[in-house]
Amino acid sequence: MSHADPNCIFCKIAEGQIPSRKVYEDEELLGFHDIRPHAPVHFLLIPKVHVPSLQEVGPEHEALLGRMLALAPRLARENGADNGFRVVVNTGPDGGQEVYHLHVHVMGGPRPWRVG
């Protein structure tokens, strides 16, 4: 597992080569607003280490995944999803994954949300 993929847009965002509207950052994780939001609150959480998808996750990633999911509720509330939110991890082509860097979508806010 490499730390970064030079061709990965999310690795470039994590390294600061491409700007983003950050909602969170620490040594392991980055949270930023989705550029095509599907809900009033819609941000992504990504590991800074390059993991192509949830399909490639192993036991060595358990703590990282736990941190991502444990952080989601706090960030959702801080960004205005006070009445609930959805967490989505698209995996592989049949799962709708568009960027092959593990990421968690956190979506919330007043409904109805845009579909598609």
Phi, psi of 11 (to 5 degrees): -65, -40
- The CB density around residue 17, as the number of other CB atoms within 10 Å, is 11
Catalytic residue positions? 103
Cα gap 46→5, rounded to integer Å: 14
